[in-house]
Amino acid sequence: MADPERIDPFEELRIGFTAAVSHELRTPLARLLALLDSATLSGADTQTLIAQAREEVEAMAELVDDVLFLSELETGRAVVALGDVRVAPIVEDVVAAQRPSAERHGQELVTLVAADVNIAVRPRMLRVLVENLLTNAIRYAGDGARVTVSARTEGDVVLLSVADNGRGVPRAELSRLFERFFRGDRARTTHGTGLGLAIVKHVVTQAGGDVEARPGPSGLGLEIRCTFPR
């Protein structure tokens, strides 16, 4: 048996990550089993229960996909900084795809993206970045919020940010938002893998940039700012 005091730091990280994934899968699995048990009862609304069970399966599939992608980033199997891609077309595609979700929450999506802004990342990575930032804002900002996606050059850097004027995050939690599986108290009532912003951080840092979470421009809500070298 291995001496716990001699465990390699990487092995310790792997063990902790495996335990966290197991914990995160346990909850939707328990809910799924409860829904299946309920569906066998006399007079059960099977269609509603099946729909709820599908949501749990989709949540588990999303978690597995995010875990695999984050693993690719952490091990270097996924190349981030390759090529030079225009930001505006990808932002437009992602916003169009997620607008129905925002509208279900009564949210307004605004884009302020300069047409000539480029970032030195692969197109797939930029799409993943924008999708995760926008999904995070739509999921946690709250009903009726305004979500703004902006991109522009500022001196020697390119700034990409997603800001909302919604519920916001306590200042004590801002520095933890990029931790794997971290979800604040206000986020625990919604579905989410807790990996979206961890993926954002890996993409940005591997492209030579920095990422920061802070209150929104008006002091309300949350802003995630990603800066890249020009």
What would the pLDDT profile of 14-27 be if each residue is shown by its tens digit? 555 555 566 566 77
Angle between helices 123-140 and 87-104 (to 10 degrees): 30
pTM over 0.85: no
What are the beta bridge partners of residue 222? Answer: 215
Given this model, what pLDDT does residue 152 score? 94
Mean pLDDT of the chain, nearest integer: 80
Neighbours of 45 (CB within 10 A): 12
Domains by residue range for the chain, with CATH = 4-75 (1.10.287.130), 85-229 (3.30.565.10)
Return phi, psi of residue 142, to 5°.
105, 160
Instruction: For Cα atoms 104, 107, 112, give the angle at the middle one, nearest 5 degrees.
Output: 135
| Sign of torsion over alpha carbons 205, 209, 214, 220 | negative
Phi/psi of residue 229, nearest 5 degrees:
-65, 140
Q: Read off φ and ψ for residue 123, nearest 5 degrees.
A: -55, -40
Look at 78 and 84; give whichever has higher pLDDT.
84
Residue 170 tokens read as: 């306590």
Helices (H) and strands (E) in the chain, counts: 6, 7
User: Of 47, 159, 56, 148, nearest to 107 (Cα)?
Assistant: 148
Q: What is the pLDDT of residues 126-154, one digit of tens each?
A: 888 898 899 999 988 999 999 999 999 98
196-208 pLDDT, tens digit per residue, is 788 888 889 888 8
| Whether pLDDT at 193 is above 60 | no
Confidence band for 217, pLDDT divided at 50, 70 and 90? confident
